[in-house]
Amino acid sequence: MNVKEFIQLLRRHWLLLLAIPVITAASVFLFARNKDKKYFSETVIYTGISTGYKIDGDNNSAGGGWNETSTAFDNLNALINSRDTKVEVALRLLASHIMHRNIDPNTWNYELAAPGVPQVTQPGSDKGFLGSIGTFLKVNALSSEAPAPKEIIPASLEKELRGMTLEQTTGNVLAYYGANNTNVIYKLINSEHPVYSEKALATISSNRIKDSDLLKIEYVTIDPAVCRQTLEILTDVFIRKHKELFAGQNETVIGYFDEATQKAYDKLQAAEQTLLEFHKANNIVDYDKQIVSSTEEKQFALEKFNDLEMRYAGASSALKTVESRLNSRGATNLKSQEILQLRSTLAALTTQITELELLNESKPSADNTSRLAGMKREAAQVSEEIKATIDAYYSNANNMKGASSASLLDDYVKNMVLAEELRGQLQVMRRQKDSYLGQYNKLVPLGAEIRKIKRDVEIAEQEYLSQVEGAKQSRLSKQNTEMASLLKVVDPPYLPSKPVSAKLLLLMIGGIVGSFLLTAGGVVAADMLNTSLKKPSVASRITRYPILGILPKVDGLNDRQLKEVKRAEAQLTRQLLLKSQQKKEDGPFVVGVLSSLSGEGKSTVCSTLATSLHALGVQSHLLFPDDHEYQIEGKNRNVSFYSPLAGVSKDLTIPDLIGRHLSSKAVVIVEFPAVLENAYPVSLLQYLDLALVTADANRTWELADRTIFRNLQKVMTAPIEVVLNSVLPEYVAEFIGTRVKGADKKRELLHLPPHPEQALLNP
């Protein structure tokens, strides 16, 4: 279907396309004029989800990622729109109205109050033409006595639920609602009530304001006071539920970490106690330092001991050499009791001096320093006494070898003192070496055990620190959650002063457009599903016969369309004459007009062809069945009748039926009875030069039609062509063509040059 055909189809059904939208608009207005007015209010809550400060040491990362923020706002929206929240809001609203003695929930009527019933609010009236019509209809509706409102809460129950305070009344309503699912309040909440039902709160919507931390909650209902009060109650219930939800979600985690931290601490204490007892048992303060110090002291003592041994050996050798020389000179008193005693005293002093020096090096103090200095002076005095004693022994001694020399005695005293000092130091260092070596040998085997104990302590410490960090993070999370749960109302709900603009006009326009589109779609669908012949192109495709001509529908046509009818009839006649010229044999051109059923325009086709041929000066003769005699007034020599039953005979011919001679240029038009309803003259079919099948454009071509004409074609040599009858005017131009605009204007004469022969005749 092209655009032109679509427009033609709409023009043909213009009345239907106009009536249905108008009826739809009127229905929308009648049903929607008494619809309750809607009042709108909103409130804005600050959440602090994405930009609020949090106790986590980094405020820049406090908001988390985009997904986390989106999830948080989805949780808020889900909590607001949850059934439990809406039910509690509805119950608290009902409790507040029960508590308020000037509001009766049973007679709560919001716009068209019953006579004698006080109205809570006075909503404004609509303006404009539609509002005026609605007001007029409402006034007429109120002129009759309004029915009494239905009681939703009995007075006895209302009295029972009303408490001393609003909270007490709310508690009573909540308890009564939860008692069972058959009580009045439970049924009210789950009913269609415009204020107290859960369905009434379905208009609550919450959305995040762009990318901010603000959450907008909107509500639309039929009363402005109820609209604001509902939002106030919803805000309180929502903030409380949100805080309760967030406050307890970390308690389990905190309890787990507290218990795990205590266990880790006990384990760490046990490991540290084991380490302490190990240190006490082995006199260890710091094993690592002690093992290093012991190793160094042992090495130092060995080196010093070896050095002292070498020095002592040298000093002893030198002393023995001097003694040998002195003995060779007669110094026999060098080993007297007095000298040996002095040497023993000097050796003891040297040993003490060495010990004090070592002690003073490790732990220097003034007392040790003074004692060391005194002992050195005492050692020096003993050395002088030894020298003086030796000098006294040998001052007057003479022998054969002579007296001892002073220098030799001095060397003896020096070597003796040095040897005694070294011997004392060597004894001290030997004891220190043994002590350091014993201490080192004691510390070395403890290394593996102390490392194992320290490793246990370290593992216990790491576990403890990990649990402490987890407990810290869980407490920080709890603090953050508590801070995030502190929602703030930054824009409280307001009392709407006028209702939301009524969308009655938009509904009517939508109804008109929708019904028009739906009707147009139905018309197009019906046309596409229509299997009738309706136009020449469709008829040719369905019947599989060529279309010789068409006869338009003539009912209710204007002058221009009547001209198109004449053109179609002339076109049919011209096509028939063109077919007659194709006959090669002498004799009149015989045309048979057939149809499957009666009433498809055979007689109309015959009379139309005869009239047009007569106007063109072509002789024609009509041959009708004998049942058409009553339809033709008077006698007409160009019209004959025949009996269809007589036409069955094989000896019957066309000239016999006509009864007179016709010229070879004449056209004989024979109308056959309906082939599916009557017996048809088979003998006449063999004389036909052309068979015209008339078919109504509004009928469908059935299998019976195909079968009968296929059988007829087997007994005749004439071709079959179709004349489509009752074609709609818009389909006529498709077959006969469209006249050029201005074709009716007066034609101008053509000025042609004269013929050459004519010029010679008229020089």
pLDDT at 475: 73
How far is Cα 68 from Cα 58, in angstroms, rounded to an integer? Answer: 17
Where does residue 493 fall: left (phi above 0), alpha (psi -120 to 50 degrees), or beta otherwise?
Answer: beta
Least confident of 349-363, 462-476, 531-545: 349-363
Average pLDDT (597-623) is 87
Q: pLDDT class for 335, splitting at 50, 70, 90?
A: low
Q: Specify the length of the chain in residues.
A: 763
pLDDT at 101: 60
pLDDT at 218: 92
Query: How high is the mean pLDDT of the chain?
Result: 75
Least confident of 614-623, 700-709, 733-742: 733-742
359: exposed, middle or buried (Cβ count in 10 Å: 0-12, 13-18, 19+): middle
Cα torsion 165, 166, 168, 169: sign: positive
Higher pLDDT, 46 or 657: 46
146: exposed, middle or buried (Cβ count in 10 Å: 0-12, 13-18, 19+): middle
Average pLDDT (606-624) is 87
Whether residue 115 has pLDDT greater than 70: no
Whether residue 70 has pLDDT greater than 70: yes
pLDDT at 326: 59
Query: Do 650 and 683 form a contact (C-beta atoms < 8 A)?
Result: yes
Q: pLDDT class for 758, splitting at 50, 70, 90?
A: low
pLDDT at 10: 81
pLDDT tens per residue across span 127-184: 444 444 444 444 444 444 444 555 678 888 888 888 888 899 999 999 999 888 888 8
Whether residue 761 has pLDDT greater than 60: no
pLDDT at 163: 87
Whether residue 618 has pLDDT greater than 80: yes
Higher pLDDT, 761 or 756: 756
Average pLDDT (283-310) is 71
Ordered strands of the 214-221 beta sheet: 205-208, 214-221, 39-46, 488-491
pLDDT tens per residue across span 176-216: 998 888 888 999 899 888 888 888 898 899 998 888 888 99
Average pLDDT (735-761) is 59
Q: pLDDT class for 232, splitting at 50, 70, 90?
A: very high
Q: Phi, psi (5° rounding) for residue 445? A: -65, -20
Hey, is 531 helix, strand or coil? coil
| Opening angle at CA 651, ends 598 and 666, nearest 5 | 65
Nearest to 502 by CA among 148, 79, 107, 28: 28
For the ranges 61-65, 93-97, 412-416, 533-537, the maximum mean pLDDT occurs at: 93-97
How far is Cα 470 from Cα 474, in angstroms, rounded to an integer? Answer: 6
Residue with tokens 């990362």: 61
pLDDT at 127: 44
> Is this model's pTM higher than 0.75 or not?
no
Least confident of 291-295, 373-377, 530-534: 291-295
Average pLDDT (508-535) is 84
For the ranges 198-207, 328-337, 644-653, the maximum mean pLDDT occurs at: 198-207
Whether residue 460 has pLDDT greater than 70: yes
Whether residue 98 has pLDDT greater than 60: yes
pLDDT at 396: 45
pLDDT at 138: 45
pLDDT at 44: 92
Q: pLDDT class for 235, splitting at 50, 70, 90?
A: very high
Residue with tokens 């006494």: 385
pLDDT at 327: 62
Using a pLDDT cut of 90, give the percent of the chain over it: 6
Residue type, 167: E
Burial 148-187 (b: 16+ CB within 10 A, else e): eeeebbeeeebeebbbeeeeebbebbbebbeeeeeeebbe
CB atoms within 10 A of CB 206: 21
pLDDT at 88: 92
Q: pLDDT class for 644, splitting at 50, 70, 90?
A: confident
pLDDT tens per residue across span 581-605: 888 777 888 999 998 888 888 888 8
